[in-house]
């Protein structure tokens, strides 16, 4: 895993974001220029433990990959689940996304546990759905006509909810059944579309195809933000992965291994 060791000395202070170029006597000094600096990586026991090991994201979503990179998981294997997502929409949204995410994690776990590359240290899976105020579970639109109709209904109904379930799995060193540890979390965020957005704007957005591969048919992190008036809850949950609880369940699922490391 790509992970830069944090220096033992103190990090540069904020004034060090600028530097002076040495000049000869009599020369005019160049203007001070800000130097862009990337933030130092998170230094956490869980992230140190899986450094250089197989960490699998059971999703092809580039947005989830980008979000995980923010907490230091930059060297991910992308292995999307092949499990059918055919659960009944009669399930409560909480149960629907949780069971779907668990199925994705188990599908990849079974496929990779005996891999010639070695067993994975961590598997992360997630599922996101948008739920209208009428209780309808909205996933990816299947046509332009459906896409347009879904966005119009979200505007006309006002508030809707976004649910994301996240699953973290890690094989156990012991042979204790079932052979793995699993931690889960479901995050809920409320989103309100601007009631004044026009049909023409909705169709123009549909034509961009930005929301064609997204639950509910829009991407809040992109052009789709023009549709949204306000949100209540986690923004990154609407993007596709709530980072704070994701890090928490990663730490929790790896706790036995972390404790073993500390004892040695």
Catalytic residues: 127
Angle subtended by helix axes 255-263 and 243-253, to nearest 10? 50
Decide if 141 contacts 150 (C-beta within 8 A).
yes
- The count of residues in the chain is 264
**Alpha helices (runs of H) in 158-242, residue ranges in sequence order:** 199-208, 235-239
- How far apart CA 168 and CA 126 sit, in angstroms, is 9
Decide if 69 contacts 39 (C-beta within 8 A).
no
Q: Which two tokens stand for residue 203?
A: 């169709």
What residues contact 30, with CB distance under 8 A and at least 6 apart? Answer: 21, 23
- What's the distance, CA 147 to chain centroid? 23
DSSP E strands, 149-179: 159-171
Containing H/E element for 261?
helix 255-263
Q: Which two tokens stand for residue 253?
A: 């699922």
- How far apart CA 259 and CA 264 sit, in angstroms, is 9
Alpha carbons within 13 angstroms on the beta-carbon side of residue 260 total: 8
Torsion of CA 86, 215, 96, 84, to 10 degrees: 20
- What's the distance, CA 49 to chain centroid? 20
């Amino acid at each position: 895993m790509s992970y830069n060791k944090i220096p033992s000395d103190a990090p540069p202070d904020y004034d060090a974001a600028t530097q002076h170029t040495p000049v000869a006597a009599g020369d005019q000094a160049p203007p001070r220029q800000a130097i862009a600096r990337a933030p130092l990586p998170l230094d956490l026991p869980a992230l140190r433990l899986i450094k250089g090991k197989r960490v699998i994201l059971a999703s092809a979503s580039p947005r989830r990959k980008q979000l995980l990179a923010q907490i230091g998981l930059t060297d991910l294997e992308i292995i999307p689940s092949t499990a059918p997502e055919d659960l009944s929409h009669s399930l409560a949204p909480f149960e629907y996304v949780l069971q779907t995410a668990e199925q994705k994690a188990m599908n990849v776990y079974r496929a990779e546990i005996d891999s010639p590359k070695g067993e994975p240290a961590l598997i992360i899976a997630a599922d996101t759905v948008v739920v209208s105020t009428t209780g309808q579970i909205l996933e990816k639109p299947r046509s332009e006509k459906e896409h347009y109709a879904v966005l119009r209904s979200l505007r006309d109904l006002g508030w809707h909810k976004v649910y994301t379930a996240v699953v973290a799995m890690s094989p156990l060193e012991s042979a204790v059944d079932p052979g793995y540890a699993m931690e889960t979390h479901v995050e809920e965020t409320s989103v309100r579309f601007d009631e004044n957005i026009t049909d023409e704007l909705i169709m123009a957005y549909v034509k961009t195809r930005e929301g064609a591969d997204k639950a509910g048919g829009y991407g809040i992190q992109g052009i789709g933000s023009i549709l949204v008036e306000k949100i209540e809850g986690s923004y990154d949950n609407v993007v596709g992965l709530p980072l704070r609880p994701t890090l928490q369940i990663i730490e929790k699922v790896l706790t036995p291994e972390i404790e073993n490391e500390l004892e040695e």
